[in-house]
A and B are shown apart, each in its own frame.
Chain A
Amino acid sequence: MNWLREHKILTLVLSIFFILSVIIVFSYSNIGNSTALGRGVEKVVTLIQGPVSSAGNGVKKGVKGIFQFRNILKENEELRDQIADLNRELIQTKLTEAELAELRSLSNILGYENVSPNYTYVTADVVAMDGSNWFNIFTIRAGTNDGIYKDAVVINGDGLIGRVLEVGSDWAKVISVIDESNSVSFKVFRDMQLLGILSGDGKGGLEGYMIDPEAAIIEGDILITSGMGMYPEGIPIGKVKKVEWNNDTLLKTVTIEPSAYFKNLQKVTVLVKK
């Protein structure tokens, strides 16, 4: 005890390190389950971050508009062309949809189990992003009040973003697919028989392997979710950047460039099961 009294500062410092270590260990064993205090802090912080983030986005858009006027005009022209193409595709899809509805009703008559659950879409603003540059964890302004639940899948216009890690009444913490330790099952859009599994590569990208070592996957192939696991089928994940044969695992490994850009997210969509 005398030693403690004589070395008060050292004791205090060591105590703080010890308490922090305990918090880390406790938190590690309860990932994704924050305490009431944590949820309260997150709620208050989100309330303040929301307006600041909106203001920041507004200023950014305004400044971008001024300095990139020509680029925006060019982009506008390209988008018009894309809209025309998409309209044509939409008509085609509507025809296919009618056929699908007929097949579904037939499947119901025959008593098959419905394998594709219907989803509703909740669009939410990204109010804050992890400023540490290490991970791509961010907060969105939507929570259980909007029907969002833990592990709900998050996407945006480009493709798969990640899943909901934690959720509060009007906020949710989202972890991106590149930070995920969990694996995602994928298939190749060109040939949907080709299946594989991917996860974050620790360098801000994705890497995976093909289940069939003979799979004819090539660079430039687009990958989508296969529907196995928590991610529903058909969400774009990214493009194959490199295909290699791994002599150690005797598997064909792929390096993937994610289709979504995680550093500048402003809006995302959460898929909520009906």
Chain B
Amino acid sequence: MKYRYSFFIFFIAFILQTTVMNHFRVFEMSPNLILCLVVIFSFLYEGYHGIIFGLVFGLVIDVCFAEIIGISAMCNFTVALISVWLKRYFYKDSRISISIVSALGTAVYALLYWSVNRMLGSGTDFLYVMQKEAVLLIYHIVIILAVYQAVSRRVIKHQGDRYMYRGNLQEARRLNRS
């Protein structure tokens, strides 16, 4: 995918997340669409879309809605790196894989966000956050699975053929060349 398209997708997600998605709250939680896209783009797509736009839109979210700038960007960046790393160990053509990655991404984001805020003096209660994040985790898995269902045919060229490559197309190409 071209970077301008992924930028556009991230931008639309950002606008929806901060406006319309507040009306689709489940147990008072609205989904973090940017985080969902970071996981999807980092895990399913080649290139650095998830890392770059996770960082950029994390900063935009911080500028618009946070007292301290940079925390969301750092969390998105970390989740993107973890998702890219997990690509080596999980098959892309499995719904279980993407569910695990999205759950891990949400959990890592929450823990890191809470930790940094706590270090900077926020008094947010850990158990309260974890209760909320449990709901969000399920919400994110549902959204990511829905997106996965829509894009998986385009992204995964040889579905079910796990012997073609172990999840990482770039690595397979490099091996093939060598």
Contacts and interface: CB of A to CB of B under 8 A. Distances in A.
Query: Do A and B share a complex?
Result: yes
Interface residues of A, number: 48
A135 B66 contact: yes
A111 interface: no
Given A16-B77, A202-B128, A203-B125, A32 B67 contact: yes
Contact of B55 (A16, A38, A60, A203): A16
A20 B61 contact: no
A63 to B, nearest CB: 9
Interface in A200-251: 200-204
Interface stretch (B27-35, B94-102, B148-156, B163-171): B27-35
Nearest to A40: B63
Interface string B14-49: 111111111101001111111000000000000000
A137 interface: yes
B125 A202 contact: yes
A127 interface: yes
Contacts of A263: 22, 25, 28
B90 interface: no
B81 interface: yes
Interface in A101-159: 127-135, 137-139
Tell me whether chain B's interface is mostly helix, strand or loop, or mixed: helix
Given A52-B15, A202-B128, A130 B65 contact: yes
- Max chain A Cβ within 10 angstroms of own Cβ: one of B69, B77, B125: B69
Contact of A53 (B19, B81, B116): B19
Given A53-B20, A130-B18, A133-B136, 19 more contacts: A23-B69, A24-B74, A24-B116, A27-B69, A34-B69, A38-B69, A42-B63, A48-B15, A49-B18, A56-B19, A130-B66, A131-B17, A132-B32, A137-B67, A181-B121, A200-B123, A201-B123, A202-B122, A202-B125
Interface of B: 14-23, 25, 28-34, 55, 59-74, 77, 81, 113, 116-117, 120-125, 128-129, 132, 136
